[in-house]
Amino acid sequence: MLPAQEAEQIILNLLEPLNIQQDSEIVNLKSAGGRVLAQSISSKLDFPYWDNSAMDGYAVRYEDVQKASVETPVTLEVVEEIPAGSVPQKTISSQQAARIFTGSMLPEGSDTIVIQENTQRNGNLVTISVSPQPRQFVRHRGSFYQAGESMLKPGIALDAPDIAILATAQYSELKVYRRPRIAILSTGDELVTPDSSLQPGQIVDSNQYALGSFVSSNDAIPIFVGIVPDQPDKLKKAMAQAIAEADIVLSTGGVSVGDYDYIDEILEELGGQIQIRSVAVKPGKPLTVASFDNSCLYFGIPGNPVSALVSCWRFVQPAIKKLSGLKHNWQPTFINATTKNELRSGGTRETYLWGNLNLVGGVPEFSLATGSHSSGNLINLSQTNALAMIPIGQKSIAAGESIKIMLTGQLY
């Protein structure tokens, strides 16, 4: 059994990111959220595009208002009104001002904005009773970004601020990495689909759906192969097809030491080089990882539904992230927290117990999910967002002690 950290490193070393030339596609900006950028972004424009106002008020010359106060107010002539989107028509001279709005271009001659709360308007005159700071509330051209500089680099997952930047830089289309293709197959004679009439001895296959959701949430494309019975010829055909079509294959079941566990044997028959056969992790000890000459990486993970998801969170997710073209932060997110409950383990494997991580008084606190922590019990896994990790050699952690937590969902 390989330690989890060693297994993770082997998996990441087996993968190369998608090729930026061969594995990219052009997408519309409106559908680019979450995609991994595959080009360098710069702009011919300065940001802001021109000097503009950050507030509603009046554009003035600082030297005219620098001594304004309640006792000695300054009255200026309003010579123009400049709505956002219009071009100023006049130059501000001594003792003059222009009515201006947020985002409006500054007129020539002005250098400072006086907010309207500090003014009193009377016809074409405005009285200013507070002295502003020099250049206050002026956003100067190029102060955020200067034309030609690097703006965004390849290998980032585009989020809402990035999309806004691209729109501002007038990118209506851009190049992103294609989404990784992940084939999913469930093995076992006992498995049936959710719409089947359940017979004694049968089990509804939840893995196909859980792993499909997992793959989609990692911005990859699930390829549903379906249920394959424990018959070597049918398994070999389905596995060969999946290996040929997908970047990564996830199969559940058939990787332990039972009489009907054929996955490892078939992988070798298909030309795969088995890199990992088991990991010192609970749940999720049976883990087969095989590499192929066509760069496909095969994960044979346990059939028990909790074990399958833990294997995906711990080992498959980093692989998808690296493959997708992301430059950094492939590994799972671990943080330190205190545990609200006593945690127990057998001590021989790195043990993961599921529950919820919350901020209590600003301090991360882990609460163990109630009920059985069996690898076959999906019920109490619902709505959890974290796994508490008990290291090898440690059998218990007392309530109130520090614990390392792996995030699997949103922290609320």
User: Which ranges in 270-397 belong to alpha helices (H)?
Assistant: 305-311, 317-323
Closest CA to 32 of 127, 156, 142: 156
Average pLDDT over residues 252-260: 72
CATH class of the domain at 4-18+178-323: alpha beta
pLDDT bin (cut points 50, 70, 90) of residue 361 is confident
Q: With 90 as the cut, is the pLDDT of residue 370 above it?
A: yes
pLDDT bin (cut points 50, 70, 90) of residue 259 is low
CATH 3.40.980.10 location in the chain: 4-18+178-323
CA dist 191 and 106 (Å) reads 70
**pLDDT (tens digit, 9 = 90+) per residue, 391-401?**
999 999 999 99
Query: What is the average pLDDT score of the chain?
Result: 95
CATH 2.170.190.11 location in the chain: 52-139
Average pLDDT over residues 142-167: 97
Place of tokens 């494997």: 349
Give the rounded percent of residues in the chain with a pLDDT score beyond 90: 94
Choosing among 3.90.105.10, 1.10.10.1100, 1.20.120.1760, 1.10.3720.10, the CATH entry for 24-47+145-177 is 3.90.105.10
Neighbours of 374 (CB within 10 A): 13
pLDDT bin (cut points 50, 70, 90) of residue 362 is confident
Structure tokens, 339: 């545990």
Structure tokens, 90: 């006049």
CA dist 113 and 258 (Å) reads 78
**pLDDT (tens digit, 9 = 90+) per residue, 179-196?**
999 999 999 999 999 999
- Per the CB < 8 A criterion, the answer to whether 374 and 306 are in contact is yes
Q: With 70 as the cut, is the pLDDT of residue 123 above it?
A: yes
Structure tokens, 388: 């508490």
Structure tokens, 330: 């492939």
Confidence at residue 258, expressed as pLDDT on a 0 to 100 scale: 63
Average pLDDT over residues 324-340: 95
Choosing among 2.40.340.10, 1.10.3720.10, 2.30.40.10, 2.40.10.10, the CATH entry for 334-407 is 2.40.340.10
**pLDDT (tens digit, 9 = 90+) per residue, 197-240?**
999 999 999 999 999 999 999 999 999 999 999 999 999 999 99
Confidence at residue 255, expressed as pLDDT on a 0 to 100 scale: 77
**pLDDT (tens digit, 9 = 90+) per residue, 270-285?**
999 999 999 999 999 9
CATH 3.90.105.10 location in the chain: 24-47+145-177
CA dist 410 and 333 (Å) reads 11
b/e burial code for range 41-70 (CB count within 10 A of at least 16 → b): bebebbbbeebbbebbbbbbbbebbeebee
CATH 2.40.340.10 location in the chain: 334-407
Identify the architecture of domain 52-139 in CATH.
Beta Complex (2.170)
Confidence at residue 260, expressed as pLDDT on a 0 to 100 scale: 56
User: Which ranges in 15-98 belong to alpha helices (H)?
Assistant: 62-65
